[in-house]
Amino acid sequence: MVTNRPYRGLLLWTMIPAIAVILLFTPIAQAVEIEGITFSESYQAGSLTMPIHGVGLAKFLRTIKVYVGALYLAPGVTPEAVLGDVPKRLELSYFRALKAGDFGQAANTVLADNVSPATIKALKPRIEQMHRLYEDVKPGDRYGLTYVPGIGTELALNGQRKGIIEGADFAAAYFAIWFGQDPINEALKEGLLNRR
């Protein structure tokens, strides 16, 4: 009786490199960690899945850790388009307690450095609406800022929606706090925009 066992063994050994290549290039969903804080590999906004693009750390006076962040972008969106009318999410996890009023004060200062006075004047009611949504945070809390075209910019605290502000113009201005020419923290911006 003739058997083909040697050929099966040969076939198996020739297939192993191909299987290894497939496994190497198959994305595996996993959490992304920075400074001991983990972020999900992707974020689901309705029917849209946004993969994580980058993570970064914001420090005050170069030594005090304030928060870490993760940027999620829709498939096909480049970091250069982050201020455009494209789906995106910024998630921030805090190391320190902050008062609700601190968010608005910091935002107004950085907006003035990145957005024209005429645009700020036009957006003022919506900017103030956003700032009224902020609450005090304690270490471990997370704010999420998610923009979906045609829907608006959602602010959520620990996964609970606080409100939605309409308009691509608002989103472009508000996300400039982190991604404008003079952002709130340059090292954070670099980490978020550079693919991990």
pLDDT tens for the chain, 196 residues long, are 444 444 444 333 333 333 333 333 333 346 899 988 999 999 999 899 999 999 999 988 677 899 999 999 999 999 999 999 999 999 999 999 999 999 999 999 999 999 999 999 999 999 999 999 999 999 999 999 999 999 999 999 999 999 999 999 999 999 999 999 999 999 999 999 997 6
Which residue ranges form the domains of the chain, and what is each CATH number? Answer: 30-193 (3.50.70.10)
Residue 27 and residue 51 in contact, taking contact as beta carbons nearer than 8 Å: no
b/e for 120-150, b at 16 or more Cβ within 10 A? eeebeebbebbbebbeebeeebbbbbbbbee
Angle formed by the axes of helices 100-114 and 117-133, nearest 10°: 160
Q: What is the pTM of this model?
A: 0.82
Residue 114 and residue 182 in contact, taking contact as beta carbons nearer than 8 Å: yes
Residue 91 and residue 144 in contact, taking contact as beta carbons nearer than 8 Å: yes
